[in-house]
């Protein structure tokens, strides 16, 4: 049985607590929140737990094996570091840290102590992303050619981060999960209107080692309509994910371009580009709550001593992309390499 | 009565001919095509015209007042130049020319001879664009904040131009028509897969003198679905144009962001960002054929000696944006200024 | 202050309790449920109330002014009757009663004791129905010509009622609320597949005193897609309500038919039928919880001694239409008059 | 080689002429129209044909093997009868005849002369209907339970027929083609507003020998939106055809109801109704022009002396359903048996 303590019981913490509590191989033992009223809600809902007011109480509690850090990003690094130093595994909200140096420190610290980090990129455990992963890994799309992601609507504005840090962690983590190719550079554009220098509209292009692959992200708090749509075009098939659709969220299109080079007397090389339009297939998606699957997976990784795929490295790559996007926006699209 | 001669009777030429022929103040007098079969179709349809096989015959025909150049872009410059040198007004297909130097030469030549150029950006005469122009000019959107355009589908690949030169002339001309602010620079990204170095996917950001305005264009021949959608977000209202919709193509959203700065003891400056969600309005659009309205407008401009809004300068700006986009793509998003 | 006691704390009861509790001029004083566990939830949520196990305790409680009957339809009549006999106002779930005789009895009883009945047709208090009512009452549609309602999806099957008694109470109550004309007869068709004689597909036509108006209802548990759409066509404008749409649920179309009778020498009477296609208008809808508005309205009616529009008569008309539909289905569409 | 003569060269005649002309085993030899101008268009387009002004010229032309009757329905019977009497095969527009007696006469006459009749129910040859036929015949849907068809939009009003005779021939012919079960009776409702007694809104229910199958048709000239949608629910899968969709017109849903009867001590018979929600499949549809396929099929039937499926009997069934619908509307839904 793995004992879990949670730091932070605001908007998302209750969901994390509920799922750890429901996990048959985990035991929720403590919840910490600075606010007395939130502690009261926690201890009323789970009368068997310890209600702490200071995060160090969780971190120092010898009974606890896993610390879940469900706080604003500014405190992730320090809380996760203290937990790792005290020998606890860490489950931490996204984005992982405020910068890539912090993320690397935590990864190194966990490695040196043989501890695990899971970054809570919940979207990776939705039925839609799981199905897309399955389809892409099975090679159905062939070689990916273009990854296009749009996540736009009217607000909600965040007071302390721009639209990139607010929305792109979702899309960057999904792209890194679905696409094997390694991102190498970013060019990004953005503009701010309402909240000082914080961009409310941003466009981000990601380049890969493979020069024929491109990914692009449109993030926008100023759209009159809500669109959450990702297109992955491969050389065999193409995929569309519409996360706003009530139904039929993921569609696989048997469509593509076929290329022939014809050699005749007249035309030594005559390029023939044809389109292939076949059936569309709309797979059924698993409707289980994503966070439940994620929490169960984390417990399973701990029991089997297996590194989770959404580990510190995965969290670090997202932070690197966020950093690079912000730097490129400040330079009006100037290419920013990820290993700079 | 204005006499019109047309050079080029392929795919689009018959539409141009039909509309000049139908215009009450114009007279279609000659059509030129190198291919005998196309000439035969032209002279059978319009038995009263002269069928020419050599463009110089149109250009030298003293009866002709207007030459319509409906040929591939590579011949626009030379044909338009000869026509202007012979004292003819010119109606020319888009894109105007192969580069901005050619466009400037033609503009200068027309000015020196007191002749008019109209570049056939037909989209500007559709009911949708006319209605959007009317709404934006009336100030309904307030200050434009973001202009986002998506024109994607599977093919058609062009053999000699990339996706930017194929599709962006539509969108650049529409943006320049709708938005008064002056574009100053471009950052663009693209990738090619099937046809040598010719990009089949491209993303283009346009910056303006106004640093709080941004425009972005997604052009793509590799999308499994056809999307032609433009969003214009203003600080008062927002607009969506879905050109693929069978009905309700243009929608005006009474939606926006409202900003208050509250000064209290606790919070000296507390930024309050609210959303305003009001009615949506779907105006009826004029269904008259766009090219008919354009041709009638050209004849009217000639009769009244008024410069058309889609003149050489408008055509030049589109060519400048195309050039800048291609240069920026080659440099992975490097900012390219338009006056460089 | 009006004291409210609730009978039934299953699926819907908690919502009724919450809204009466939140109403500033009502006081939730008792909740009754036969199941001890449901009583425990009720008294834990509202520690200040009396938890009763027998409905007669609510009905006999002298402190209580209003009894809310939130039980299966088979018990509505007896519980409401006892409550009225004990001088209580009654708030009762839909459908009002199992037959029209029961409904009439309750209406008469309430009238004789000067008590009020409200039937919980919650849909009438949604932003969509309120807006449609406002538009139709303002005469925007002109004379209503056709009312078409579709409510179909896959399940949920009810074990004890057919698709008509399950779904049509919503649509009949909405139609009667929106349309002033008086229904006079019903023709209905249906078929059953899975649950004995209980129909899972039904089509119902309602005739009115006005012979030029028709209403039709499609109710179906066997549709692969979920459609909840009502069209009201008037002679001036037309209205579409799509309750499944995430946004833009109600649209007003400035569309219609225009009729001219031309008298000329040739054609003494030449009927000219034209179509008018104008703008579409999508009004913003009130997003307040419908049940909250309904409960507040009931309390207000009691305080002001005003008859609510969703009173026993309104509930009776819905029951009469349900009865007539079932009778007509059994006779394969035979016309059933409502006053039979 | 089969020689074809066409009577009627108005709106649809040119399409029929073009396709017979293009058919490799047919020869277009004559076109008849009363109007000189239409004859001129015909003979200019097909200079090798005979242009007739009187239908009897076609009917008496010894060279002609097939007469295509592309005239208003009121003349179908007499023209087809004369053609058959003169030994010609007949291709006739839908609806086949003005009443079922006429249809039966023509069927009998053709049979007695060993001639063929094809009724031009073009929709049966669209890619969508062909694919649905294939799916249903392969048993993918299992037993059909419900057939629901909606064909509504604003106009066009016909001056001489009601909305049933205008629109239902499409849907009746499609239903009879897709569903093997035999229709036995009709209940229908309708109302008229603009054109005397001619209904502009109608609802038609069709009953079958199989008492568990029902079909329903909504036909309407007064809808603000255009909907052309058919749902076929089977006990294994369900199908949706949206003919207005630009793409993905036919969808097959692996959805249904599963029934278990559980026998336990407590519940001797406990009915368990479950829903099965699986994948959706969107087959590619053949995009060949439907009329081309129909004409080629007719020529092939003649060459092979095979009865076409859209023969006189098929046309007669549609006429019987139209007659029954009109009779039932006049009696407000009274059941009308087809063999009455």
Q: How far apart are CA B338 and CA B319, in angstroms?
A: 10
Parallel, antiparallel or unpaired: strands D336-337 and C201-208: unpaired
Q: Are D228 and D244 in contact (CB under 8 A)?
A: yes
Cα dihedral D168, D174, D178, D184 sign? positive
Q: Are C274 and C257 in contact (CB under 8 A)?
A: yes
User: C284 and B254 in contact by Cβ < 8 A?
Assistant: yes
Q: How far apart are CA A334 and CA A187, in angstroms?
A: 6
Q: How far apart are CA B91 and CA B17, in angstroms?
A: 12
Q: How far apart are CA D172 and CA D157, in angstroms?
A: 20
Q: Which two tokens stand for residue A298?
A: 């984390």
Domain segments of chain D as ranges: 2-115, 124-289+320-337
Total beta-carbon pairs less than 8 A apart between chain B and chain C: 26
Q: Are B117 and B319 in contact (CB under 8 A)?
A: no
Cα dihedral B53, B56, B60, B64 sign? positive
User: A281 and D281 in contact by Cβ < 8 A?
Assistant: yes
User: C279 and B283 in contact by Cβ < 8 A?
Assistant: yes
Nearest residue to D141 via CA among D256, D17, D39, D23: D256
Partners of residue C75 on adjacent β-strands: none
User: C146 and D191 in contact by Cβ < 8 A?
Assistant: yes
C112-167 pLDDT tens trace: 999 999 999 999 999 999 999 999 999 999 999 999 999 999 987 777 899 999 99
A37-92 pLDDT tens trace: 999 999 989 999 999 999 999 999 999 999 999 999 999 999 999 999 999 999 99
D144-166 pLDDT tens trace: 999 999 999 997 777 789 999 99
C20-49 pLDDT tens trace: 999 999 999 999 999 999 999 999 899 999
Round the CA-based radius of gyration of chain B to a whole number and report it: 22
User: B279 and C280 in contact by Cβ < 8 A?
Assistant: no
Assign D87 a pLDDT band (cuts: 50, 70, 90). very high
pLDDT of residue C86: 97
List chain A residues with CB under 8 Å of D279: 281-284
The minimal CB distance from C277 to the residues B251, B277, B284 is found for: B284
Residue A145 has pLDDT above 90, yes or no: yes
Between 3.40.190.10, 3.30.360.10, 2.60.40.1150, 3.20.130.10, what CATH number should domain C124-289+320-337 receive?
3.30.360.10
Per-residue pLDDT, averaged over D193-206, amounts to 93
Task: Enumerate neighbours of A (3 or more CB pairs within 8 A).
Answer: B, C, D
C-beta neighbour count of C19 within 10 angstroms: 22
D263-312 pLDDT tens trace: 665 555 566 778 888 999 999 999 999 999 999 999 999 999 999 999 99
Nearest Cα residue in chain D from B225: D247
C48-98 pLDDT tens trace: 999 999 999 999 999 999 999 999 999 999 999 999 999 999 999 999 999
Assign D141 a pLDDT band (cuts: 50, 70, 90). very high
Q: Are C168 and C217 in contact (CB under 8 A)?
A: yes
Nearest Cα residue in chain B from C276: B284
Per-residue b or e along D75-107, where b marks 16 or more CB atoms closer than 10 Å to that residue's CB? ebbebbbbbbebebbbbbbbbbbbebebbbbbb
Enumerate residues 216 to 255 of chain C having a beta carbon within 8 A of any beta carbon in chain D: 216, 218, 220-225, 231, 233, 235, 238-240, 251, 253, 255
Q: Are A187 and A333 in contact (CB under 8 A)?
A: yes
**Residue B192 at interface with chain A, using a CB cutoff of 8 Å:** yes
* Continuous segment of H or E residues that includes residue C271: strand C270-282
User: D201 and C145 in contact by Cβ < 8 A?
Assistant: yes
C244-295 pLDDT tens trace: 998 999 999 999 888 776 666 555 555 677 888 899 999 999 999 999 999 9
Residue D182 has pLDDT above 70, yes or no: yes
Parallel, antiparallel or unpaired: strands B183-191 and B201-208: antiparallel
User: C282 and B281 in contact by Cβ < 8 A?
Assistant: yes
Direct distance between the N- and C-terminal alpha carbons of chain D, in angstroms, rounded to an integer: 43
Q: Are A145 and A234 in contact (CB under 8 A)?
A: yes
pLDDT of residue C159: 72
Q: Are B144 and B208 in contact (CB under 8 A)?
A: no
Per DSSP, the three-state class of B17 is helix
Q: What percentage of chain A exceeds 70 in pLDDT?
A: 96
Mean pLDDT by 10 residues, chain B (340 residues): 97 97 96 95 93 97 98 96 98 97 98 98 98 98 97 83 95 98 96 90 97 97 96 97 95 88 59 83 96 98 98 98 97 90
Residue A148 has pLDDT above 60, yes or no: yes
C-beta neighbour count of D156 within 10 angstroms: 9
- Looking at chain C, the number of H-run helices and the number of E-run strands are 9, 15
Q: How far apart are CA C217 and CA D313, in angstroms?
A: 33
**Mean of the per-residue pLDDT values for chain A?**
94
C307-325 pLDDT tens trace: 999 999 999 999 999 999 9
pLDDT of residue B271: 63
How many residues can be counted in chain C? 340
C168-208 pLDDT tens trace: 999 999 999 999 999 999 999 999 998 888 999 999 999 99
Residue D177 has pLDDT above 80, yes or no: yes
Residue A146 has pLDDT above 90, yes or no: yes
**Mean of the per-residue pLDDT values for chain D?**
94
Nearest residue to D310 via CA among D105, D51, D130: D130
**Residue A281 at interface with chain D, using a CB cutoff of 8 Å:** yes
DSSP code string of B133-196: HHHHHTTTT-SEEEEEEEEEEE-PPPSSS-HHHHHHHHHHHHHHHH--SPEEEEEEEEE-SSST
Q: How far apart are CA B298 and CA B310, in angstroms?
A: 9
Nearest residue to A26 via CA among A70, A64, A69: A64
Q: Are C335 and D333 in contact (CB under 8 A)?
A: yes
Q: Are A67 and A47 in contact (CB under 8 A)?
A: no
User: C246 and A225 in contact by Cβ < 8 A?
Assistant: no
pLDDT of residue B195: 82
Per DSSP, the three-state class of C281 is strand
| C2-115 and C124-289+320-337 have identical folds | no
List chain D residues with CB under 8 Å of B248: none
Which CATH class, in words, describes the domain spanning B2-115? alpha beta
**Mean of the per-residue pLDDT values for chain C?**
94
Q: What percentage of chain D exceeds 90 in pLDDT?
A: 89
List chain C residues with CB under 8 Å of A282: none
Nearest Cα residue in chain C from B277: C284
Residue A265 has pLDDT above 80, yes or no: no
Show the 3-state SS of B23-62: CCCEEEEEEECCCHHHHHHHHHHCCCCEEECCHHHHHHCC
Contacts of D138 (CB under 8 A, 6+ apart): none
Total beta-carbon pairs less than 8 A apart between chain C and chain D: 152
Residue A259 has pLDDT above 90, yes or no: no
Backbone angles phi, psi at A297, to 5 degrees: -65, -40
User: A275 and B154 in contact by Cβ < 8 A?
Assistant: yes
Query: Could you identify the residue written with the tokens 């009323």?
Result: A44
């Amino acid at each position: 049985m793995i004992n879990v303590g949670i730091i932070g019981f605001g908007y998302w913490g209750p969901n994390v607590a509920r799922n750890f509590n429901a996990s048959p191989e985990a035991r929720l033992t403590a919840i910490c929140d600075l606010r007395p009223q939130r502690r009261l809600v926690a201890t009323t809902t789970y009368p068997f737990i310890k209600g702490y007011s200071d995060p160090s109480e969780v971190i120092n509690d010898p009974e606890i094996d896993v610390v879940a850090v469900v706080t604003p990003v500014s405190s992730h690094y320090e809380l996760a570091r203290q937990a790792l130093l005290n020998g606890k595994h860490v489950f931490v909200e996204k984005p992982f840290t405020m910068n890539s140096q912090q993320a690397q420190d935590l990864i190194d610290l966990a490695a040196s102590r043989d501890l695990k980090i899971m970054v809570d990129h919940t979207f990776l455990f939705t039925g839609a992303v799981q199905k897309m992963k399955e389809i892409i890994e099975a090679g159905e799309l062939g070689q990916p050619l273009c990854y296009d992601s749009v996540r736009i609507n009217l607000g909600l504005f965040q007071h302390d981060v721009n639209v990139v840090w607010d929305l792109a962690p979702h899309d960057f983590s999904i792209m890194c999960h679905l696409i094997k190719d390694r991102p190498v550079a970013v060019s990004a554009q953005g503009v701010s209107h309402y909240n000082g220098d914080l961009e409310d509209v941003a466009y981000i292009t990601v380049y890969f080692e493979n020069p024929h692959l491109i990914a692009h992200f449109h993030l926008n708090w100023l759209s009159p309509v809500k669109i959450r749509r990702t297109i992955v075009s491969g050389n065999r098939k193409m995929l569309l994910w519409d996360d706003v659709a009530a139904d039929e969220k993921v569609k696989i299109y048997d469509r593509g371009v076929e290329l022939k080079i014809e050699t005749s007397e007249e035309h030594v090389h005559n390029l023939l580009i044809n389109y292939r339009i076949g059936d569309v297939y709309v797979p059924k998606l698993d409707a289980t709550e994503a966070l439940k699957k994620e929490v169960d997976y984390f417990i399973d990784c701990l029991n089997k001593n297996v590194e989770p795929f959404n580990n510190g490295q995965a969290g670090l790559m997202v932070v690197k992309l966020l950093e690079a996007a912000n730097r490129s926006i400040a330079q009006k699209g100037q290419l920013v390499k990820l290993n700079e």
